[in-house]
Structure 1
Amino acid sequence: MVGLSEVRKSNSVLHSRDGDFVAVFVGGTSGIGEATAKELAKVVKKPTIHLVGRNEASGSRILEELKAANPEGTFHFIQSDVSLIKNVDQACSEIKQKEKAIDLLFLSTGHLATSKKDTSEGLENNHALRYYSRMRFVHNLLPLLSASKTPARVVTVLAGGQEGKIEEDNLDLQKSWSFMKAASYAATMNSLAVEHLAAQYPTISFAHVFPGVVRTPLMNTSFGSIAGSIVGFLSRPMSLSLQESGQRNVFISTSAAYPPAAPEDPTSIGVPLVDGLKATVASTGKVGGGSYILNYDGANNANEKLMNGYREQGFPKKVWDHTLAIFSKALGSTQ
């Protein structure tokens, strides 16, 4: 566990660093994504932040708040329903027109769907948000991430450490769906994809994070204002504020505690470790191995036995091959 004082100390170092820092937040117009973008804007001297989200009014409001917090920063909003892969491609195209490199890709889309609903591209809506569209952003932006001098980091916030059993013939949840199965499949596939990508792109760090219970609007939007308020009230003693969640996510997104497997410059792998902190064990069991399954407090949260079993069966590559096939099917092409 990384204490909050260490988190804040590490984050404060960011302001003294020169050079550009470009971040993309997908799901950045509410909750954890919004909170993390705001904390990053406070601690980076001259950030460039791209927010991708559905709600244009929220996006405009957050842009104004970011500008007020850091007048030296550059902030953009891209309005997009990223449950559709074609919309992800359009959003990525807009980002590529503005940037040559990306230092952070932060992914936090999704909601708590209580019933199955497919998109016009034939994907289960919440599975598209929690897995496929996230990985499409990664896939499309890998050239810009690889061009980062920081080096780059991909952080997908969902349910790191909450993996479970998945079946190879049901990865898209079309054969069998349930609320619990959808949650488990999304968590497991994020972790397996992160591990595969870290091996294929060893100069980039990849992290799958369980955010803990955070006081966000998610419960209200998922279950309604009354039920959501009750759940929120009962969970408050064990929950994190949005500010603390944002600060912890900035730490995970920038600290040298989570280096890539093979950095081009081993002396430049993130904010130098403070107060005796060490590089974290990756999902493969290797210290500093590039793929991290983390608890909200930055500690290793990998289920080593489960991940070893999937690794022995070749599931990291199987999941990624499936993902590429789904992209082609959704877009009606061979992309």
Structure 2
Amino acid sequence: MKINNRRYTGSKYKLMPWIKELILEHCPEHCSLFDVFGGTGVVTSELLEITTSNTINDFLFSNEIIYKAFFGKEQYDENKIKSHLKRYNEVDKSTLDGNYVSENYGDKYFRYEDAKLIGYIREELKREYENTEINEREFCILLASLLYSFDRCANTVGHYEAYIKGKEIRSEFVFELIEPIISNNTINIYREDSNELAKKVVSDIAFIDPPYNSRQYSRFYHVMETITKWEKPELAGTAMKPPEENMSDYCRNLAPKVFAELIESLNVKYIVVTYNTTYDSKSSSSRNKITLEQIQKILEKKGKTLIFETDYHRFNAGKTDSVDHKELVFITRVGE
């Protein structure tokens, strides 16, 4: 599986040819990239060929593991990885005991037998890593493979805000491997507050695709976060969510303020910001917390700003009306 082979709200994968073309045309100095809100990691992945140094950041634990799996530099034993693939797919699910995943997510997000296997694999990875039977890169590759594999069979509409009720869960879990990315680029991976990290990173380009609406990604992808961290918290509610953590101010009414602080802190030559026109969405959770006009005003204080737009049918897991939806890209030449 490649880095883009997952369901993720706001993924820019299909827009990357257009975005890359804009960067090549309007950002002549583009050796280093700071991917401030890394998300799926596809922006960094797609721009590796036009950069030499990359910094990628995201506050989700699951995304950090995924970045380390795809972009990490530590050597790993490919035969060892493949032996895990063979072993996990030969497990007889019916012989497994119940575990944290099956007890909480079985016959909800996954078929019960599949949930037992997912929990078994996660527990095995913890044990092997703690016993140094696998190194950190091997652990990240195998855990990322588990995340990508169960995302393919999850009984959801594409995120984990809730599971689909009233229907038989037909998709079956099959453990598959991700395909790590080979690159000579220097790649630095962070899981930090973006506004704090921005004060420390120096780069040619900052690419910014923050969450703009009230949908907190730590809640949208809580199943991935819980299985990644493997701290086994008590889960509550119909959706089986853990206690709140990693709540972003970009998903609150503070968004314009924290965005302005981020832009002011950046030490870069160009700022590339993506924005989608869902400000007037009928769904309050989809409605943007920061307007196009606010973004433009904030960026123009930093430098000359150009705006580009394209029609785009975004990923929409619900029934929110997205007629005349457009994706916009702002490119700011800092100091001009």
Same fold (TM over 0.5): no
Task: Determine which structure has the larger helix proportion and give its number.
Answer: 1
Give the greater-gyration-radius structure (CA). Answer: 2
TM-score, normalised to structure 2, is 0.40
Q: How does the TM-score come out when normalised to structure 1?
A: 0.40
